[in-house]
Amino acid sequence: MNRRKYAPKPNEGKQEGKGRILFAFLTSWMVWGLASGCGYTLSHRLKKNFLSDRGVFVPVMYNQTEEVGAERVFTDALVRQLQSWGEVVLSSREKGALELRGTLKNLDYAPSAYTAPGFGGMESYRRAPSQIGVSATLLLELIDPNTGKTLWADTFSDFRRVDTPTVRTFDYQSPSSVPLYTQSLIESTYQDLADDIMRDVYDDMVEVF
């Protein structure tokens, strides 16, 4: 019995190879899509206390420091962090919604490094701050307005360093401008401090797998 050898059609091998490549691509794309999509729908990961069908209201934080306006920076950072993970953040109080209240307890700064003595023509026994450390501490509380019960509370803090100007150290170089410039540098760290803290806050709000 003669067996007829199979003769592949023109380009059949190429088409079959393309089919395998396409299937592999689609499979990997679906796996990647499922994995990456989880990053934007993490409501199911929230601890039970934070789950609310009506969402969460975040009022402007209470500021116990002397840094006027800093509470807005930290409140906005908290709202952005929650919204980035798909959580429902309300702009006003609504019946049945939980309330995440914050208190900015400390916002301190002090020199963390100095120049060498006699820097820039100063007296040999004098030094100027070359770096300032800035720290922030805040308290967050999850409240059920219906019962007044605290469902969750925790304290968070962070620390940053900022270089200070050391080029104007004499009276004739207008040293009065140095404090204003230094203060602006200190205030520029508030956003970084807030973002760092709010990442820690969200990590504390979700279940650990």
Q: Which residue has the higher pLDDT, 130 or 102?
A: 102
**What is the reported pTM?**
0.70
Which tokens belong to 196? 């760092």
pLDDT at 62: 97
Per-residue pLDDT reduced to its tens digit, 115-163: 777 666 666 777 777 888 999 999 999 999 989 999 999 999 999 998 8
The tokens describing 53, both together, are 């069908």
Q: Judge whether 114 and 129 are in contact, CB under 8 Å.
A: yes
Q: Of 102, 106, 107, 108, which is closest to residue 139 (Cα–Cα)?
A: 102
User: What is the mean predicted confidence (pLDDT) over 64-77?
Assistant: 94
Taking each helix axis from N to C terminus, what angle separates 190-205 and 177-188, rounded to the nearest 10 degrees? 20
CA distance 191 to 74: 7
